[in-house]
Every structure is written in structure tokens, then in C-alpha cells.
């Protein structure tokens, strides 16, 4: 049973564009929702995270939008750069225990 | 400030063998989790250790076992290796009592190939 569904599987944008990656979860007990960035051959790195009582959070060029009633959240990357080309994972966590990850979105930002 | 370190980075084993992977958590972190990441997929939770005890376990067979030491470092052991165990094994740490305890800090991983 996949508890976190992520879309799209891949995404191509031009430099300066705003890619949007979406995730939906099922378990309402989740209480923390981080996003991770992974480059080939590297481990995932934390980008930004949000709690379900907050509707939006911005850190630099990265913004999370959270819709608790719809059980959905999304990552927006403002002014995307070729260096942002990577695989992005959403995750959901409960009580600092296991994190459940989406299947990832491969983002390509063209110069 | 050292991050999460894992060893070895790459290893090749044959079916039926056993493997031990090692992890040192980020300074100040007391909780260690292990994840398996198959090619093209998201990390899958194996188990979590806190205060030297296994606190949570994912849907992995008993062939997967672990240990946490008093200095918070951890080992992942896999017995009777199968071809399907080939994957990137990720160690992650977090400070359990922090308000941001749901954020994981990952190592670079150990790439296991089973032939």
C-alpha cells in the first residue's frame, strides 16, 4: 500500500520556469512533511519541510503549499536553474518515526 | 560539523553471503534509521534505532538486522543475500527530541551489488 503518491514522474522546464511537484497522502496521523533533493550517486538532502497546521512555507526559492483537507502538498521552485536538475522526493513522517517517501520526480531544467 | 558517514561506499557480494554496513550519525543526533533505495524508486524504511533498541521496523524480513552502539553509531546486517537485495542502502539520522525530529539527514549510501 503506497501511502504517499507523487506526481509527475518526470518534469522538464526552461531556466527561470516554476516547476511544481505534487504529493498526496492517505494517513492523517502524519505530522511532518519534508522534501528532499537527490543528485545521482548521492544521498537525499533535506530541502524544506512543513507541518500540517501551516498552509505555506517559503525558504529561498523553494515553497511548500499544504492543503490539509485535501491531504495534498506541493513543492514549487521559483526561478529554476540548471543546477536544480535532480530527483525530488516528498515524504511524510509521524512522531519522528519512519518516513514514507513518494516515488520521486526527476526534474530537468534546460538552459 | 561532520554529517552522516557510511561505509563501505560500494561492495559486491554473491548470493547467500552476509554483509555488514556501518553508519555514524550527524553530531548531536541520537536516532539512526536505515533505508533501502532501489534504482528509480524512493527510499523504503527498514528500521529505526534509538537508545540502542530497534524502535520501528518496516516490511523487511528477519534477514535484515541491526544494532546501535552507545556512541549512536549503527550497523545494518543482511544475511543470506538475494539478487533482489541489490540496492543503495541509506543511513539517516535525526535528533529525536527536537521540534524538527521528522527531518532526516542522510549519508551518501552504500551501494550493494549481489551477483
Question: What are A93-109's pLDDT values in tens digits?
Answer: 988 889 999 999 999 99
Q: Which three cell numbers stand for residue A7?
A: 506526481
- Measured CA to CA, the distance from residue B53 to residue B60 in angstroms comes to 17
Q: How would you class A41 by CB atoms within 10 Å of its CB: exposed for 0-12, middle for 13-18, buried for 19 or more?
A: exposed
Cell numbers for A77:
521552485
As a whole number of angstroms, the distance between CA B94 and CA B52 comes to 14
CB contact under 8 A, B104 and A104: no
Mean pLDDT of A27-54: 94
**Best A43, A57, A66, A73 residue to mutate vs chain B (most B CBs within 10 Å):** A43
- Whether B4 and B26 have beta carbons less than 8 Å apart is answered as yes
Q: Are B108 and B10 within 8 A, CB to CB?
A: no
d(CA B2, CA B9): 17
Tell me, yes or no, if A78 comes closer than 8 A to chain B by beta carbon. Answer: no
Give residue B1's pLDDT.
64
Provide the pLDDT confidence category of residue A72 given band limits of 50, 70 and 90: very high
Does A23 reach chain B within 8 Å, measured CB to CB? Answer: no
- Which residue is closest to A39 within chain B, CA to CA? B108
pLDDT of residue A96: 83
The string of DSSP letters for B96-107 reads TTSTTTT--EE-
A1 pLDDT exceeds 60? Answer: no
From A32, A43, A93, residue closest to B106, measured CB to CB: A43
- Interval A51-74 mean pLDDT: 96
Give, for all 115 residues of chain B, the pLDDT tens digit: 679 999 999 999 999 999 999 999 999 899 999 999 999 999 999 999 999 999 999 999 999 999 999 999 999 999 999 999 999 999 999 987 777 778 999 999 999 999 9
DSSP-assigned beta bridge partners for residue A7: A22
pLDDT value of residue A45: 96
Rounded Cα distance between A106 and B95, Å, is 29
Which of B37, B103, B107 should one mutate to test binding to chain A, selecting the residue with the greatest count of A CBs within 10 A?
B103
CA-angle at B48, arms to B47 and B54, nearest 5°: 90
CB-CB under 8 Å, B100 with A49 = yes
CA angle B52–B56–B59, rounded 5-degree value = 130
Out of B104, B107, B109, the one facing A99 most closely (by C-beta) is: B104
Take residue A3 and report the three cell numbers written for it: 501511502
Amino acid at each position: 500500500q503506497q501511502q504517499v503518491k507523487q506526481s509527475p514522474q518526470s518534469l522538464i522546464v526552461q531556466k527561470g520556469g516554476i516547476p511544481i511537484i505534487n504529493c498526496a497522502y492517505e494517513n492523517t496521523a502524519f505530522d511532518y512533511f519534508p522534501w528532499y533533493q537527490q543528485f545521482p550517486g548521492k544521498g537525499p538532502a533535506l530541502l524544506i519541510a512543513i507541518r500540517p497546521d501551516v498552509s505555506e512555507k517559503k525558504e529561498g526559492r523553494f515553497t511548500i503549499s499544504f492543503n490539509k483537507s485535501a491531504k495534498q502538498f506541493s513543492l514549487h521552485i521559483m526561478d529554476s536553474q540548471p543546477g536544480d536538475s535532480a530527483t525530488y522526493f516528498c515524504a511524510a513522517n509521524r512522531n519522528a518515526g519512519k518516513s514514507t517517501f513518494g516515488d520521486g520526480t526527476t526534474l530537468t531544467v534546460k538552459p | 560539523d561532520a554529517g552522516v558517514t557510511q561505509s563501505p561506499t560500494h561492495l559486491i557480494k554473491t548470493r547467500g553471503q552476509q554483509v555488514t554496513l556501518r553508519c555514524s550519525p550527524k553530531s548531536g543526533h541520537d536516532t539512526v534509521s536505515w533505508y533501502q533505495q532501489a534504482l528509480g524508486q524512493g527510499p523504503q524504511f527498514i528500521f529505526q534505532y534509538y537508545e540502542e533498541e530497534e524502535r520501528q521496523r518496516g516490511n523487511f524480513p528477519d534477514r535484515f538486522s541491526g544494532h546501535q552502539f552507545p556512541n549512536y553509531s549503527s550497523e545494518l546486517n543482511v544475511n543470506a543475500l538475494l539478487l533482489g537485495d541489490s540496492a543503495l542502502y541509506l543511513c539517516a539520522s535525526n535528533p529525536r527530541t527536537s521540534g524538527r525530529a521528522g527531518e532526516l539527514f542522510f549519508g551518501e549510501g552504500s551501494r550493494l551489488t549481489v551477483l
